[in-house]
Amino acid sequence: MAFKPPASLVFFVVILPVFVIGTVIGFFNSQKVEFNYLIGMVELPLIALLIAEFVLVALLTLAASFVRVFGLKSEIRRLRKQLRDSETELRNLRALSAPPAPVAPLSALPKVP
């Protein structure tokens, strides 16, 4: 069995340093930059633009993921219904093709006094 580190260890070893490095980069890059977009221009600190871009990309990724997940869930529902129908049809076919129950010969019946 493979070793699986606890989630808190993964957080402190991987995620926390990323946030610390991002904070340090943001602190030292606080100068204002010009941001030109389709309908205008705004002057913001570089870190604000980076955070806004990160949030926007995260939201777009979540939206795309939700669309894909809902599509897959509907496909799962359709396939489960198809499986249920196929199992029912198979049961019915087996019942139709089952040999008739054996009939005991008259000599094997008990004699009535």
Buried b / exposed e along 69-102 (16+ C-beta atoms within 10 A): eeeeeeeeeeeeeeeeeeeeeeeeeeeeeeeeee
Quick one: pLDDT at residue 49? 85
Quick one: pLDDT at residue 104? 60
Quick one: pLDDT at residue 105? 63
Local mean pLDDT, 10-residue blocks, the chain (113 residues): 70 80 80 87 86 90 92 94 92 80 61 59
Quick one: pLDDT at residue 25? 80
pTM (two decimals): 0.53
Quick one: pLDDT at residue 27? 78
